[in-house]
């Protein structure tokens, strides 16, 4: 990708580990400037040390609107602009719909949806002023195919992220065609996501078919050049989604999926 733009300022939330950390390293290697946002300063510093001296660190709790707005302000003061904003922070859950509490619901929507909304709303005035920019929201295959019952409200939260992404894209399309609003849909990723889920859960690093964080992060980094609106980290996933929503009996597709998981 020798012709890709250089020195883009790329804000990455949830950058202290997993996909976010891997993305930061790739962004730095490609000649861009990653801005790392998360709560854990020590972990962020470790990621920054692997970014060839190009990274900025911003300690922030992205479930707090003021913290997210502070990341925008500090980045503009330090770098003068933001080119890409990646809403990557999130957390899973291990609880069936019938077991969900009010606190479960509120926690999942705050971490996985409100943080995305805050990021989009915080960076949008700057993008409007420049009349360009890209927002990439890290969704999930569970935001398309809700086939894992114990992820329940996490899956619902990612469906909400997809809706917000599409609606902002439509809102901006006529007046700001160069502001790109994108979503990316990973499947299982070999990170601590599963073991860090609310109420615990299976370790994603040991599940069959898991993609590496680096593979997923590479897909996200490539989106900064292609500026595609909607991307799956596995090419075959798009066909699975299309088949599900085109099915005469969606319940039958769901049952078949559960049978495959149990084998």
Question: Is pLDDT at 201 greater than 90 in this prediction?
Answer: no
- What average pLDDT does the segment 177-181 reach? 98
Residue 259 inside a domain? The answer is no
Confidence of residue 262 (pLDDT cuts 50, 70, 90): very low
Residue 247 inside a domain? The answer is no
Question: Is pLDDT at 181 greater than 90 in this prediction?
Answer: yes
Question: In the 8-state DSSP scheme, what is residue 189?
Answer: B
Reported as a single tens digit per residue, the pLDDT across 158-176 is 999 999 999 999 999 999 9
Question: Is pLDDT at 257 greater than 90 in this prediction?
Answer: no
CA separation for the pair 93, 235 (Å, rounded): 26
Based on the residue annotation, tell me whether 118 is a catalytic residue of this protein: no
Question: Is pLDDT at 1 greater than 50 in this prediction?
Answer: no
The total domain count for the chain is 1
Q: What is the CATH number of the domain that holds 194?
A: 3.40.50.720
DSSP string for 2-59: TTS--S-EEEEESTTSHHHHHHHHHHHHTT-EEEEEES-HHHHHHHHHTTTT--EEEE
Which of 118, 154, 232, 244 is flagged as catalytic?
A: 154
Residue 246 inside a domain? The answer is no
Reported as a single tens digit per residue, the pLDDT across 17-50 is 999 999 999 999 999 999 999 999 999 999 999 9
Question: Is pLDDT at 133 greater than 90 in this prediction?
Answer: yes
Residue 57 inside a domain? The answer is yes
Residue 89 near residue 13 (C-beta atoms within 8 A): yes
Pairing of strands 33-38, 9-13: parallel
- What average pLDDT does the segment 206-233 reach? 93
Q: Which domain holds residue 121?
A: 9-235
Question: Is pLDDT at 2 greater than 50 in this prediction?
Answer: no
Q: How many CB atoms lie within 10 A of CB 193?
A: 24
The model's pTM: 0.94
Measured in whole angstroms, how far is the alpha carbon of residue 12 from the centre of its chain? 9
Residue 229 inside a domain? The answer is yes
Number of H helices, E strands in the chain: 9, 7
Of 97, 98, 76, 96, the C-alpha closest to 85 is 76
Residue 58 inside a domain? The answer is yes
Residue 248 inside a domain? The answer is no
Phi and psi of 33, rounded to 5°? -115, 105
Residue 3 inside a domain? The answer is no
CA separation for the pair 110, 63 (Å, rounded): 6
């Amino acid at each position: 990708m020798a012709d890709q733009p250089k020195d883009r300022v790329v804000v990455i939330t949830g950058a202290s580990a997993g996909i976010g950390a891997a993305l930061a390293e790739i962004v730095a290697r490609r000649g861009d400037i990653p801005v790392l946002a998360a709560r854990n300063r020590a972990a962020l510093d470790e990621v920054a040390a692997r970014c060839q001296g190009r990274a900025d660190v911003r300690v922030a709790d992205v479930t707090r609107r003021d913290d997210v707005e502070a990341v925008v302000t500090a980045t503009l003061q330090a770098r003068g602009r933001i080119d890409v904003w990646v809403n990557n922070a999130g957390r899973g859950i291990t609880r069936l719909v019938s077991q969900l509490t009010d606190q479960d619901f509120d926690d999942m929507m705050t971490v996985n949806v409100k943080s995305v909304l805050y990021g989009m709303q915080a960076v949008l005035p700057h993008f409007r002023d420049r009349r360009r920019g890209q927002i990439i929201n890290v969704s999930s295959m569970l935001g398309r195919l809700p086939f894992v019952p114990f992820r329940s409200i996490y899956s619902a939260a990612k469906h909400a992220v997809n809706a917000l992404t599409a609606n902002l894209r439509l809102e901006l399309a006529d007046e700001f065609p160069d502001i790109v609003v994108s979503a990316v849909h990973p499947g299982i990723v070999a990170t601590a996501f599963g073991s860090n889920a609310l109420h615990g859960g299976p370790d994603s690093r040991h599940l069959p078919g898991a993609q590496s964080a680096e593979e997923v992060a590479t897909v996200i980094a490539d989106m900064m050049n292609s500026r595609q609106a909607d991307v799956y980290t596995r090419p075959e996933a798009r066909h699975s989604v299309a088949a599900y929503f085109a099915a005469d009996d969606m319940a039958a597709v769901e049952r078949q999926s559960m049978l495959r998981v149990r084998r």
